[in-house]
Amino acid sequence: MNNFEYYRPTRILFGKGMISQLSSLLDKAQKILLLYGGGSVKKNGVYEQVAKALEGYNYSEFGGIEPNPEYETCMKAVELVKRENIEFILAVGGGSTLDAAKFIAAAAKYEGKDPYDIITEEYEVKDALPVGDVITLPATGSEMNGNSVISRASTGRKAAFVSEKVYPEFSIIDPQTTFSLPVRQTVNGIVDTFVHTMEQYCTYDVNTPLQDEWMLGLLRTLIQEGPKALAKPEDYDARANIFWCATCGLNHFMSLGCVQDWATHQIGHELTAFYGLDHGQSLAIILPRLLQNQKLSKSEKLAKLARNVFGVEESVDLKAAGVAIYKIEEFFNFIGMKTHLADYGIDAGEAAEQARKALAMRNVKLGEKGAVTADTAFEIIRNS
Ligand code: NZQ
Ligand code: ZN
């Protein structure tokens, strides 16, 4: 097991009716910014519950954060934060709204020339406004991590920053808020959580049996609970289990001491940046082909997954690994997720060339062994 350090200061309030606790978490003396997306929170009653909890508090609002939050939109919110001396940002909505809140929080305290610096790899965030959230979409795990992914249409770049300074102070998770999710977003969330777990689990063994059990258990739970929520959107227990999977899927706890991958996400972000695919859709297209491409070096973990998650009895690792990849794609298709670029009318050859150019410019060496170069990504996408 590799060395690790873990720090996670986020208070989690999980369960039915928890939004009513919001006022006890906020400081009346602080000026708050209530941040939300395109309006789902106004349709499903979440905004109303939040507004009720905020009665008597001093707050302003900023709505219109888009899925795959845009840098330019975030910068408009930063102007408002500065103009109104906002001291706390409350994100209400999906991962995009929360990621935007984290960026806005860091940009409000940024003192250099170009706030886009925050999203570049070399920059370290020195300070940020405090952030809290009512999260309404189980997918990103943003409610318990320090990550934020920001897109910029003008440059065609979608990139992430990571900082301890933007860990949410608290996250309120009421699974009932997810009853209103469109099927597409429920499926996106299941796939995103599945792939987060895969990227932390499916590398090579460094003797972490406990972590492996947690991660394989999460995959089994998703396979069991996902279809229940799809069949019955108001199945509270299924929604609750899926949400907790999503949160644990990327609070980085399960994989402490393990070797990680993240190539599927990096390549997927390129597809979203070029073609506007949903984050979950991009991952479902790339993961099976990436696993196929890297099957040899991942075969031990893939074979363990095949046996533990899918009950495969094949004793030869490489053969079992192939079955695992097939079963994963079959699960994605079973819950209604498409897994090929052609399903979205995208030409795989063209997409592969676009991504190769972008990744080559950054001279990437992705994956747990740095084996996924721009040329490897080209092969993976061309086969997708
Ligand atoms: O914008 P509104 O109107 O709120 O509607 C949203 C949006 O259209 C809707 N929605 C959210 N909750 C709902 C709901 N509709 C009905 N009922 C609800 N309860 O769903 C749509 C998608 O929302 P979005 O926030 O974009 O989805 P998600 O949570 O999947 O976030 C995706 C973004 O997170 C990034 C992705 O790249 C993408 O930009 N990621 C963030 C990560 C992180 N912070 O750790 C890690 C992930 O790997 C990912 O990269
Ligand atoms: Zn993701």
The answer to whether the CB of 163 is under 6 A from ligand 1 is no
193 lines ligand 1 (CB under 6 A): no
Find the ligand nearest to 166 CA: 1
Locate 19 and state its tokens. 């939004």
Is the CB of residue 32 less than 8 Å from the CB of residue 58? Answer: yes
- Specify which residues 34 forms β-bridges with: 61, 90
Q: Which of 279, 281, 14 is nearest to 135 (CA)?
A: 14
Cα(186)–Cα(189) distance, integer angstroms: 5
Tell me, what's the pLDDT at 126?
Answer: 96
DSSP helix/strand/coil, 221: helix
Pair of tokens at residue 356: 């190769």
> What distance, in Å, lies between the first and last C-alpha atoms of the chain?
34
Q: Where in the chain is the domain with CATH 3.40.50.1970?
A: 11-177
CA 360, 365, 371, 372 torsion: positive or negative? negative
Residue nearest to atom 35 of ligand 1 (CA): 149
Site of tokens 């609970």: 225
Q: Tell me the CA–centroid distance for residue 177 and ligand 1, in Å.
A: 13
CATH 3.20.20.210 fits 11-177, yes or no: no
Look at ligand 1, atom 22, and give the residue with the nearest C-alpha: 67
140 Cβ below 6 A of ligand 1:
yes
Distance CA 318, CA 301 (A): 10
Strand partners, 36: 92
The token duo for 261 is: 């991958």
What averages of pLDDT result for each successive group of 10 residues across the chain (384 residues)?
A: 98 98 96 98 97 96 97 98 98 98 98 93 93 98 98 91 97 98 98 98 98 98 98 98 98 98 97 96 98 98 98 98 98 98 98 97 96 98 98
Atom 26 of ligand 1, residue of closest alpha carbon = 67
Atom of ligand 1 nearest to the CA of 283: 48
Q: Span 182-382: which CATH code?
A: 1.20.1090.10
- Ligand 1 site, residue 203, Cβ cutoff 6 A: no
- Going by C-alpha positions, the residue among 377, 126, 182, 163 that lies closest to residue 270 is 377
Q: Is the CB of 94 under 6 A from ligand 1?
A: yes
Taking CA atoms only, the protein residue closest to ligand 1 atom 17 is 181
Ligand 1 nearest-atom number relative to CA 39: 3
pTM > 0.95: yes
Rounded to the nearest whole angstrom, what is the distance from the C-alpha of residue 159 to the centroid of ligand 2? 12
Which parts of the chain fold into alpha helices (H)? Answer: 22-25, 40-43, 46-53, 71-83, 95-108, 183-201, 209-231, 236-249, 263-275, 279-293, 295-310, 317-334, 348-361, 374-382
CB distance 10 to ligand 1 below 6 Å: no
Q: How many angstroms separate the CA atoms of 143 and 166, rounded?
A: 10
Q: How far does the centroid of ligand 1 lie from the alpha carbon of residue 95, in Å?
A: 4
